[in-house]
Amino acid sequence: MSQYDYDSDEPFVVIEKESGSIPSFVWGLAIGAGLALLFAPRSGEETRHTIEAKARRVGRRARGAAEDFTDTVLDGYEQARRTVEDRIETARDAIELKKQQASRALEAGRLAAQDAREELERRISESKAAYQSGADAARSARASALADDDLDRKEI
C-alpha cells in the first residue's frame, strides 16, 4: 500500500472545462439571430421594420443611459471639486487664524520684553542711585571720621 493517494496505479481522466468567452458569445448571438430570421412568422420587410424600431429604442435607451452616466460622473466630479474647494478654504482659514494668533503672540512677546527691559532699566538706575547714595554716605562718614581723627590728633 502506498503512503499517498496519488501513488496509486489507478488511471485517471483529466477534464478541462473552458468557460465561455466573448467570441463564443458573439458567435452564439449571430447564429441565434440568423435562426430567428429564418423561422420568423413575419415577412422580411416587417422583420426589418421591427428590428429597426427596436434598434432605435435600444439606441435611445443607450443614449439615455450614457447621458445619465455622464450626469452622474459630472455630479460626482462637481461634488468632489466642491468638497476639495471647501477643504482648501477651511485650511486657508485655519492657516490665516494661526498666522493672526502667531502675530498677536509675537506682538505680546515684544511688549512683554519691552516692559521687562524698562523694568530692568528702572531697577538698575535705582540700584545705581542707591549705590551712589551709599557711596556718598560712606565717603562723608569717612571724611567725618578723618576730620574727627585730625581734631583728636590736634588736641593731643
Separation of alpha carbons 56 and 69, rounded Å:
19
What are the CB-based long-range contacts (under 8 Å, 24+) for 52-57?
none
SS3 123: helix
Would 54 be classed as within a structural domain?
Answer: yes
Q: What pLDDT is attached to residue 48? A: 80
Answer whether 0.85 is exceeded by the pTM: no
DSSP state of 110: H
Lowest mean pLDDT among 11-15, 20-24, 70-74: 11-15
Q: Which domain holds residue 66?
A: 45-131
The domain total for the chain is 1
Q: What pLDDT is attached to residue 36? A: 78
Is the pLDDT at 150 greater than 70, yes or no? no
DSSP state of 120: H
Would 104 be classed as within a structural domain?
Answer: yes
Q: What is the mean pLDDT of residues 1-18?
A: 60
